[in-house]
């Protein structure tokens, strides 16, 4: 595994979250990093991105495949509850050291919000 510097941005209609200059790890097509107390795993495949965010309270998995809908789960650990998540990927850009995803999120069949997730990274010098 190689150490990298990670920056990400998550934008919704309600908020904007920025993470800058965090140290992460990359091996092959897997990127690991922490967003405060949340462990983030990003798997980059050909034309597809899998995103998992997890801590002691929850685990959320999202699959992004351009112009397709994917159904995953949002597990609320302390309540023992699982919600169905559906993502509709509107835009997916995968370039060297950069991922951009624009998507709509539905929770248990109801529209939640539209999001943009951007991730970029560079080798640690």
| pLDDT single digits (tens) 69-112 | 999 999 999 999 999 999 999 999 999 999 999 999 999 999 99
Condensed to tens digits (0 to 9), the pLDDT of residues 44-74 reads 999 999 999 999 999 999 999 988 999 999 9
What is the model's pTM? 0.92
String of DSSP letters for the chain: -EEEEEEEEEEESS-EEEEEEEEEEEETTEEEEEETTEEEEEEEETTEEEEEEE-SSEEEEEEEETT-EEEEEEEEGGGTEEEEEEEEEEEEEEETTEEEEEEEEEETTEEEEEEEEEEEEEE--
Q: How many domains does the chain have?
A: 1
- The residue range of the domain holding 7 is 2-123
Residue 107 has which token pair? Answer: 């929770």
CATH number at residue 109: 2.40.128.20
């Amino acid at each position: 595994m190689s150490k990298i510097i990670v920056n990400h941005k998550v934008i919704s209609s309600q908020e904007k979250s920025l993470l800058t200059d965090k140290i992460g790890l990359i091996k092959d097509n897997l990127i690991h990093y922490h967003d405060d107390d949340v462990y983030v795993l990003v798997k980059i495949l050909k034309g597809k991105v899998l995103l998992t965010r997890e801590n002691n309270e929850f685990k959320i998995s999202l699959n992004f495949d351009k112009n397709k809908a994917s159904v995953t789960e949002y597990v609320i650990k302390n309540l023992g509850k699982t919600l169905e998540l559906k993502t509709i990927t509107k835009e997916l850009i995968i370039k060297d050291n950069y991922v951009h995803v624009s998507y709509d999120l539905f929770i248990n069949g109801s529209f939640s919000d539209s999001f943009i997730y951007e991730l970029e990274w560079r080798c640690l010098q």
